[in-house]
A and B are shown apart, each in its own frame.
Chain A
């Protein structure tokens, strides 16, 4: 990997708030990170940690009662937050595109596979004739390991793995720079999932794609990602190179999470780490660090003040009081 990493997306201070009957709920809270060109960045966390909301926010797909309440998304030098509806439509699909978990609800049951692909092309490039669009669809679908005869099939005639490949095809057909894959392989069986992961790697190498891989499956990230971002309760807990984070997790949450993942290679009966408690209710998050009620290493300051996301070594960010200076007045209080 070259040291000269080119930044594709800069996310700064991004917050998403849902206005619920119980008051505002900060699903994503002041999140900042970069996505580099050509990398696979894995975003992991448990349900409700804000990883999917963050992915949607990158496309500005947050619908009321939710809203992006702060922050900037700088995509290739332009601030996506300043885009009007027309610019957004062009941005989605052409620059960034999303692959969701469930292909059966994302594909139109009464449209054939080729119609999906042609529609996607023609919406964004209306001047493209049908034959040209079809040719593009055919080449792409064969690259994804589906015979071109299957283009005339309806979604229900395809297997789960093939449907998900079609979804990936829809994401790629406009040559978007960034693919956001939100639990894209979660509903698939392990063997099919493993094959799709190989596909993702191949596509990244072939098209120099940038992939943001959002998943609850930490083992997947270990298998495929270059960097990992761990989220907890709407915030970034830790960011770093995937091997560094797995070898030496810094945030206590990351550490607990990694130790509670079943590993098929370890000796059986090896105890899994059992983290106490459950993630907090985000309409009333704990004061200070949001993880402190579950943290084995919590200090008095953790309940009082929120730590900053600090770069503790090049490219390694941790959101924890263990790795930053404590302000005087609180430390001695």
Chain B
């Protein structure tokens, strides 16, 4: 049975040119590039929450932005519901954009401080549904405010961002993203700034809205502990590459890539009886301008052999639905 894929990412590459001085160019210095995303392929199934997890600089945010067409890829294709987004012109791309929305980390930066919530949330409707009357628009906005828990909606309709708490602001951002009835929502660290007691509420809200509106989420996070409470499948990124993709439980129980294993071991457990004793990999995530040859994790990997610096391991399926890019992952198979 073929999978029902909403998004298909094929060989996605995004290189950002590094600034070079005029003198360097005169001297014929070769232009350098930041290899932010360097050949990533995966699929997001309709109705699932796909988590992209990685440390800063792993390319997870750039991947998300490229999927939404917010940044043109250097190479590769993004296919959204059988339409190749990378081949679309601006007008058609804008039409497709209605079907995808985004929630960023910092709600204060995502909301215009001079717009009331009603205006801010209604703005997208104005653009994507110009045929709506102002009354219809208002109804949709207040309906959405209720759905995200900003009640009484008529009260919040006229509030400004600075009058809200952090948690309420993020709810407003969620309302704005969902009011245009998208199918795909890119949530980039949507709860990273919220306090613990608010996080649980926001996760619950996102789960509830997903069921109610049949949404598909691309959930980007650095936090594997949080990802566990919302994701169905997870892709682990390291230095512009996808190193492992697996369903949630599978990944947490049988992590096959040494990097995934280190990442899981590093997550602090809120239990003083379970203090970590496992040592962490040496070094830090290297410079993406000159990524290491072969497997990008090899300089830090405890298992590294000669082959790892010479040959890049491909993503292979070692267990059903579980792919990993490592020359020596077989030894971790249960």
Contact = CB atoms under 8 A, between A and B. Distances in A.
Interface string B199-242: 11101100000000000000000111110110000000000000
Interface in A181-210: 189-195, 197-198
Interface stretch (B93-101, B269-277, B314-322): B269-277
Given A189-B56, A190-B222, A268-B249, A278 B165 contact: yes
A190 B284 contact: no
Given A264-B252, A274-B204, A47 B224 contact: no
A246 B272 contact: yes
B199 A260 contact: yes
Contacts of B263: 190-191
B102 to A, nearest CB: 23
Contacts of B266: 190-191, 193-194
Contact of B200 (A195, A273, A279): A273
A51 to B, nearest CB: 12
Among B198, B199, B279, which residue has the most Cβ atoms of chain A within 10 A? B198
Chain B interface residue bracket vs A: 35 or more
Nearest to B165: A278
B248 interface: yes
A279 B197 CA distance: 10
Contacts of B201: 274-275
B82 to A, nearest CB: 32
Contacts of A258: 270
B306 interface: no
A262 B249 contact: no
B301 interface: no
B196 interface: yes
A219 B225 contact: yes
A190 B198 contact: no
A69 interface: no
B143 interface: no
B228 A264 contact: yes
B196 A261 contact: yes
B34 interface: no
A257 B200 CA distance: 10
B268 A223 contact: yes
B285 interface: yes
A264 B196 contact: no
Interface in A225-280: 225, 242-243, 246, 256-258, 260-265, 268-269, 272-275, 278-279
Contact of A195 (B55, B271, B280): B280
A264 B269 contact: yes
Interface in B171-186: none
Contact of B264 (A262, A264, A279): A264
A40 B270 CA distance: 16
Interface string A127-138: 000000000000
21 contacts: A46-B196, A160-B284, A189-B56, A191-B262, A191-B284, A194-B265, A194-B268, A194-B276, A198-B279, A216-B195, A220-B268, A222-B270, A222-B275, A243-B273, A246-B271, A257-B196, A261-B270, A263-B269, A264-B252, A274-B197, A274-B204
Interface of A: 46-47, 159-162, 189-195, 197-198, 216-220, 222-223, 225, 242-243, 246, 256-258, 260-265, 268-269, 272-275, 278-279
The 3 A-B pairs of least Cβ separation, nearest first, read A219-B268, A272-B200, A46-B195
